[in-house]
Chains A and B, each alone.
Chain A
């Protein structure tokens, strides 16, 4: 915290110094950003930067400006149309579109923030140039500047385009959706015909006081718990399954290792939604598996031991809580294990053999070796990607959505919140937005999911990102 404060102090301090001690060129850069460079004979750079300044200001004023002006209300003029019945032509008033106002507003604000940052940095750079000139240091020509972009400053060249992509595809949409959580964008306020507006923390208050649906917090808590159980179970079952399978195939006694591996890999090659839809048809209430089970008498057997209620003449693989939860995790094992097997195979091949040898000499049996040496080694290597897959399982839309399309809950408390027992936060969110246009609540849930994921990751990742290890290996 203190570090950040100091950083800020230095940042603005340097800026103040530049303004205070700058000569005429440097100070002129406050208005015409390129002036400082032109004054030091960096003509091309100076012109480019001034041009950029003009473009940004024009874009702000002409394009995003009108929208940003309405950002505080998100628009006030509702769409009205008049159809002239004698000419069959339509006149529409100059209406506000809350959605576009918000989107352009977000973009406009982002540009302003970037511009201010640019402007301050520019001042400092220009001042630095002034100092260099005063000290008689060498000042780069334009060609030298460009060359540096492919050498010492190569990372700038490398990161610019990918960052732009991320800004457009991730940052802008995310900020936009976070803003939606603080508006009343729902079924009754759908742009472009109708306006929505800011409501502050109302939606969060509603969520925690059980406002939107009669059983919202009931459903929310249960769905949250199942989401976490699912994420952990799905990750670890496929992980352990993958290792065991890889271990099994890699064993010295196994013949035709490559053939076995290929058989499992074939399942990855078919698009996941095809296999998932297929499996959901197979395990449907009247699907092929049920037909076979009832022909073989398995259904009757399950009736007898009480696992299937006697009112059902099928096994509810994917249509009753409990059954469906277990089946989803099993099917996920089917989906995920081949992939994990591939990963684990590679790791097992790299396992340090000297450790295994010495353990064997010490008289450890196979299971001891596996649990004491192989597993810790794999865990050490796979730790970070495990956490990442927990997070991606929290957001695993496909498996749950495709497997439970035919699921009807018999728990009224879930049904009253448009949820079902097998929903993850993410699928519930999809139902809310897709079927009920309840964008504001969906955003609220989305933010909460995000906070949970971020918490999990930050707790476990900080060590990894801190980068203590990365230097070791180089």
Chain B
């Protein structure tokens, strides 16, 4: 009996020490999160004192950046997440050096981590407190990140005005409820058509019907990832169907109306061509060296591989039209952007915001564009850069919409696309169930 007690004690004491250990950590964490606040107060006072003592420095005190530099002592350690591709990693490293050089009096420790823009939201939301201070993410994640309270809103800017220098659509996409939440970085994350001009003429790529016919004749394939809501949207949006997000993050969608049925039938018709394949990006890339895939709907991220494989025939254009009730209808698309966001849980919000501004300035955007082939969000920088992919994107731009859609869209839409490629007799029924899924209420209590 005694020994049992002793063992229980041993056990409990270990638990206790462990808990005590945790407690210590937690307190540290608590002080950390308050550190900003506490440090802030003396800094403000110091600034105020300075101002009172020497009126000459008053101008400096009104300059937040100068205040920040004055209030900073010790190392400012920041973490930056951007795409794992080599182009991004090296360019960002160069830009970070430039940022450090701009503030020579401050001791920075900036680490760059590799997180794909598409995954940024998932990685950030796993534990917002452990997320990077500054991260690059794709525009479709603005909503989820804001909902989780992970983004620091851009309440003020210090070195330039992102709302003025960047294109209006990027600024709008980076905002929610009229408030800017991120700094636009690129405006080229949308999709368009790559094709091999040695196989297709410019007339061929005007419409899906002529494109598939020409491909059949040439015994080549044309592809698009129809089983993916992001691309599928282009057809329905082009024909004027409606898909928007409500305040509670559910969707409004009318794809099951008459136009929608006509669109769906048209997709089925295109997909029934023996030359058409619905294939995802990774598979398409793998098929390219073979030479069979002569046209594919994708974005600037693939420009390198298409250029390499199509060689002299490398060309890109806006998306083709498709036939709705006998009229050629231009396909719409989602415009895609990349943003730089600042974590709401950053220990150094001021420096994080300044870094984000630096990374998205006109010069930086131009450098990134040069290294990655993507189109800058900054209008001045965008004007200086041209490539077939970017001109195609620009041509598509007038038909492109900003992506505002609730999470319930993706799975039903992917399924809808896949079903249409496979072919169904009951198009109306299929659309009805799809719309039911897309518009289903978001559970909230």
Please judge, given known A-B contacts A164-B14, A184-B445, A410-B415, whether A45 and B33 are in contact too, CB under 8 Å.
no
Q: Which residue of B lies closest to A281 (CB)?
A: B286
CA distance A48 to B144 in the complex (A): 52
Instruction: Find out whether the CB atom of B64 lies under 8 angstroms from the CB atom of A86.
Output: yes
Decide yes or no whether B6 CB sits under 8 A from chain A: yes
Decide yes or no whether A408 CB sits under 8 A from chain B: yes
Query: Which stretch from B169-177, B258-266, B302-310, B435-443 is at the chain A interface?
Result: B435-443
Decide yes or no whether A326 CB sits under 8 A from chain B: no
Q: Which residue of A lies closest to B423 (CB)?
A: A311
Binary flags per residue of A173-203, CB closer than 8 Å to B gives 1, else 0: 0000000000010111010111000010010
Instruction: Find out whether the CB atom of A63 lies under 8 angstroms from the CB atom of B23.
Output: yes
Tell me the chain B residues, 65-81 only, with Cβ under 8 Å from chain A. Answer: 65, 67-68, 71
When the two chains form the complex, which single residue of A145, A149, A413 contacts B433, counting CB atoms closer than 8 Å? A413
Decide yes or no whether A404 CB sits under 8 A from chain B: no
When the two chains form the complex, which single residue of B11, B26, B287 contacts A164, counting CB atoms closer than 8 Å? B11
Give the chain B neighbours of A129 by CB distance below 8 A.
2
CA distance A145 to B444 in the complex (A): 58
Instruction: Find out whether the CB atom of B23 lies under 8 angstroms from the CB atom of A411.
Output: no
Instruction: Find out whether the CB atom of A52 lies under 8 angstroms from the CB atom of B6.
Output: no
Instruction: Find out whether the CB atom of A63 lies under 8 angstroms from the CB atom of B19.
Output: yes
Instruction: Find out whether the CB atom of A86 lies under 8 angstroms from the CB atom of B433.
Output: no
Chain A, interface size: which category? Answer: 35 or more
CA distance A286 to B277 in the complex (A): 10
Query: Which stretch from A210-218, A252-260, A262-270 is at the chain B interface?
Result: A210-218
Instruction: Find out whether the CB atom of A163 lies under 8 angstroms from the CB atom of B11.
Output: yes
Instruction: Find out whether the CB atom of A90 lies under 8 angstroms from the CB atom of B40.
Output: yes
Instruction: Find out whether the CB atom of A118 lies under 8 angstroms from the CB atom of B5.
Output: yes
Q: How many A-B residue pairs have CB under 8 A?
A: 255
Q: Which residue of B lies closest to A437 (CB)?
A: B125
Instruction: Find out whether the CB atom of A416 lies under 8 angstroms from the CB atom of B9.
Output: no
CA distance A49 to B228 in the complex (A): 64
Decide yes or no whether B291 CB sits under 8 A from chain A: no
Binary flags per residue of A61-93, CB closer than 8 Å to B gives 1, else 0: 011100000000000000101011111111110
Instruction: Find out whether the CB atom of A410 lies under 8 angstroms from the CB atom of B155.
Output: no
Binary flags per residue of A418-447, CB closer than 8 Å to B gives 1, else 0: 100000000000000011111001000000
Decide yes or no whether A160 CB sits under 8 A from chain B: yes
Q: Which residue of A lies closest to B272 (CB)?
A: A311
Decide yes or no whether A31 CB sits under 8 A from chain B: no
Give the chain A neighbours of B43 by CB distance below 8 A.
87, 89
Chain B, interface size: which category? Answer: 35 or more
Decide yes or no whether A206 CB sits under 8 A from chain B: yes
Shortest Cβ distance from residue A172 to the other chain B in the assembled complex, whole angstroms: 10
When the two chains form the complex, which single residue of B3, B36, B148 contacts A153, counting CB atoms closer than 8 Å? B3
CA distance A452 to B158 in the complex (A): 58
When the two chains form the complex, which single residue of B19, B26, B33, B67 contacts A88, counting CB atoms closer than 8 Å? B67
Decide yes or no whether A406 CB sits under 8 A from chain B: yes
Give the chain B neighbours of A140 by CB distance below 8 A.
2
Instruction: Find out whether the CB atom of B3 lies under 8 angstroms from the CB atom of A148.
Output: yes
Q: Which residue of A lies closest to B226 (CB)?
A: A408
Decide yes or no whether A168 CB sits under 8 A from chain B: yes
When the two chains form the complex, which single residue of B1, B22, B412 contacts A63, counting CB atoms closer than 8 Å? B22
Binary flags per residue of B25-42, CB closer than 8 Å to A gives 1, else 0: 010000001101101100
13 pairs of residues in contact across A and B, judged by CB atoms under 8 Å: A63-B22, A86-B64, A87-B64, A88-B351, A114-B11, A124-B1, A149-B6, A159-B7, A160-B11, A214-B437, A311-B422, A313-B274, A408-B415
Known interface pairs A190-B148, A192-B129, A416-B411; 4 further A-B residue pairs with C-beta atoms within 8 A, sorted by A's residue number? A89-B350, A118-B5, A118-B8, A188-B444
Query: Which residues on A are within 8 Å of B, measured CB to CB?
Result: 45, 48-49, 52, 55-56, 58-59, 62-64, 79, 81, 83-92, 100, 104, 107, 110-111, 114-115, 117-118, 121-122, 124-125, 128-129, 140, 145, 148-149, 152-153, 156-157, 159-160, 163-164, 167-168, 184, 186-188, 190, 192-194, 199, 202, 206, 211-215, 284-286, 309, 311-313, 406, 408-416, 418, 434-438, 441
